[in-house]
Amino acid sequence: MKVSTINVIVMSFVLGAVVTALPVHAGAPLDLLRGEAPYASHLLYTQPGVFNDDDPGERQHGIDAGLAWGDAADAVVVYEDLGHSRGMAYSIRRHKKAGRTVELRRLPGWSQSAPVSDSLE
């Protein structure tokens, strides 16, 4: 498939609940086929030696760094198959407040659907 334009997108999904299924759930293969260059800051910033996700200050710093990427991206995409974490809800509110469109997606055929939080507005 030849893609003439690549859109940079920031992906968001519940990390803790999906660690064992990341290759399947991360959505990157589908995003690449859409002509998108996906970036998921929470996959990078939670690696050992980067930020300690259990430390509230470091977690917030990582979330804020991810939001900065979202500010520069062509799109903000939220995969909601496993629901929303507090960090995801915070990100969604912040991007909507800044006037960015937040696209909610689900992976076709994903079998571990979870209810989506109602606290996103």
DSSP type of residue 32 = H
* Structural domain total, the chain: 1
Residue 7's Cβ-count burial label (10 Å; 0-12, 13-18, 19+) is middle
Instruction: Give the CATH number, domain containing residue 34.
Output: 3.40.50
Report whether pLDDT(1) > 50. Answer: no
pLDDT of residue 66: 85
Residue-wise pLDDT for 18-77, tens only, equals 444 444 445 555 677 778 888 888 778 888 888 888 899 998 888 888 888 888 888 888
Three-state SS for 63? helix
Residue-wise pLDDT for 60-117, tens only, equals 888 888 888 888 888 888 888 777 888 888 888 999 999 988 988 887 766 654 444 4
Domain that holds residue 70: 7-105
pTM over 0.85, yes/no: no
Residue 38 lies in a domain: yes
Residue 2 lies in a domain: no
pLDDT of residue 27: 54
Sign of CA dihedral 64, 65, 69, 75: negative
Distances (CA, A) of 13 to 4, 5, 75, 79: 27, 25, 15, 5
pLDDT of residue 93: 92
